[in-house]
Amino acid sequence: MFDTNTLITQRLHDIDASGIRKVFDLAVKIKNPINLSIGQTDFDVPEPIKEAAITAIRDGLNKYTVTQGMAEMVNAIKGKFNDAYQTDGRWDDYGTLVTSGVSGGLVLSIMTCVEPGDEVLVPDPYFVMYKHLVTMAGGKCVYVDTYPDFQMTAERVEPLITDKTKLLVLSSPSNPTGVVTTDDTMKQLAELCDQRGIMMISDEIYDEFSFDTDGPAPTPASYSDSAMILRGFSKTYGMTGWRLGYAMGPKPIIEQMTKLQQYTFVCAPSMVQKAAAVAAFDLDMSDYVTAYKAKRDMVVDKLFPHFELTTPGGAFYAFPKAPDGMTGTQFVEQAIAKEVLIIPGNVFSEQDTHFRISYACPDETLAKGLDVLVGIAGG
């Protein structure tokens, strides 16, 4: 019998999933943990979106759509961008692709643009998917050290650009830090990328969860004609299991991503596209965002006296530094021993100095968990 391990590519061997698995291995015997680890909103999909999806199913919209997305959905996306950025139809000339979540957009854009040997600039800390997708494409991540304020600035990026640099990947608001890129910083990054012929992939899945800005978080869509904008419905509307997102970017890139989607995801779910087009885009989610801002304030108020913490401006994460004398992993092990689930920072970083909290949970659960963490820190 042959060794099946010989069939597995080196690319897959180079992808390490052990960081998060270790957390769950430690927690497997806990019956009712205080879970501050899950990046998923604690509210359900709003009823108008549910009803729109149910209607679509009952009306027979259960088959494939065209790969790029149903026309109603594509037109809704373009209308949203034209309204938001007052571009007088500029977005009509952009490529638009409806994807299976922002994750699908990341897979397609990176696989389209990255070849073996190419370099991709990634902020450190980063969303876990970025480094592994670059590895799968045969590229190399070049990490931009953003500690301690977690701003990926043009000043930090420019010295790392080489003739092999192909992409810059940015998430704002950020997972895992919750930091929102400032408008001025976003403008400078967009200009730098345009000047150096680098495409910026802007992961904006948390765009509406921006607590201290006037409206959604800053975006390179305001400043660049060449950025790839990835947005979705999983976080703002609690639709994580519905797998719907979209990409807006240069037409030649989007056309190739669409071709790749034909042979991978095929299309985004049909009834979910319909629900988003007729219900989600017009739904006011500001009350939910306000509630999460209050959760953010609770996290800062409780942790700031005891931990080094950069105030998160959006998403629903905080990224405190472990107390002196502890690595992030060591602190997480102590937290899990007290039945609080959090994630060590080295899952998201080349460093092991911090840990990630998700406050996408009921207020009572959050308060209990924060009290335990403060107690471990000696507070």
What digits encode the pLDDT tens for the residues 325-378?
999 999 999 999 999 999 999 999 999 999 999 999 999 999 999 999 999 998
Distance CA 12, CA 15 (A): 5
Cα angle value 100/220/175 (rounded, 5°)? 55
**Helix/strand/coil for 357:** strand
- With CA atoms as reference, report the closest residue to 292 among 325, 255, 317: 317
Helix axes 101-113, 251-262, angle to 10 degrees: 110
Distance CA 295, CA 201 (A): 29
The percent of residues above 90 in pLDDT, for the chain, comes to 82
Q: Inform me whether the pLDDT recorded for 87 exceeds 60.
A: no
Residue found by looking up tokens 């017009």 in the block? 282
- With CA atoms as reference, report the closest residue to 233 among 47, 49, 357: 49
- Residue positions counted in the chain: 379
Name every residue whose Cβ is closer than 8 Å to that of residue 210 and which is 6 or more positions away in sequence.
173, 180, 216, 217, 289, 313, 314
Q: How confident is the model at residue 92 (pLDDT cuts 50, 70, 90)?
A: low
pLDDT of residue 19: 62
Q: How confident is the model at residue 324 (pLDDT cuts 50, 70, 90)?
A: very high
Q: How confident is the model at residue 41 (pLDDT cuts 50, 70, 90)?
A: very high
Name the CATH architecture for the domain at 47-282: 3-Layer(aba) Sandwich (3.40)
Q: Where are the alpha helices (DSSP H) in the chain?
A: 10-13, 18-27, 47-58, 71-85, 101-113, 128-136, 154-157, 183-196, 251-262, 270-278, 286-303, 328-337, 363-376
Structure confidence by residue, pLDDT tens digits, 115-125: 999 999 999 99
Lowest-pLDDT choice from 9-23, 27-41, 119-133 = 9-23
Q: How confident is the model at residue 91 (pLDDT cuts 50, 70, 90)?
A: low
Name every residue whose Cβ is closer than 8 Å to that of residue 261 and which is 6 or more positions away in sequence.
67, 68, 97, 99, 104, 108, 267
Q: Inform me whether the pLDDT recorded for 86 exceeds 70.
A: no
C-beta of residue 277 within 8 angstroms of C-beta of residue 316:
no
Average pLDDT over residues 80-103: 79
Residue found by looking up tokens 């088959």 in the block? 63
Handedness of CA 24, 300, 217, 149 (dihedral sign): negative
- With CA atoms as reference, report the closest residue to 260 among 73, 69, 109, 64: 109
The third-level CATH classification (topology) of the domain covering 4-44+285-376 is Aspartate Aminotransferase, domain 1 (3.90.1150)
Average pLDDT over residues 12-27: 69
- Tell me 45's DSSP state: P
- With CA atoms as reference, report the closest residue to 154 among 198, 108, 92: 198
- Supply 41's token pair: 């909103």
Distance CA 340, CA 25 (A): 13
Q: Inform me whether the pLDDT recorded for 23 exceeds 80.
A: no
Average pLDDT over residues 200-208: 96
Q: How confident is the model at residue 181 (pLDDT cuts 50, 70, 90)?
A: very high
Average pLDDT over residues 250-279: 95
**Helix/strand/coil for 137:** coil
More confident residue, 177 or 78: 177
Query: Residue 29 to residues 37, 81, 118, 179, 336: CA-CA distances in angstroms?
Result: 16, 47, 43, 33, 11
- With CA atoms as reference, report the closest residue to 202 among 134, 98, 318, 102: 102
Distance CA 226, CA 200 (A): 8
Average pLDDT over residues 87-108: 85
Q: Looking at the chain, which residues constitute the CATH 3.40.640.10 domain(s)?
A: 47-282
Average pLDDT over residues 196-215: 93
Over the chain, what is the mean pLDDT?
92
- Supply 158's token pair: 């420019």
Distance CA 286, CA 318 (A): 21
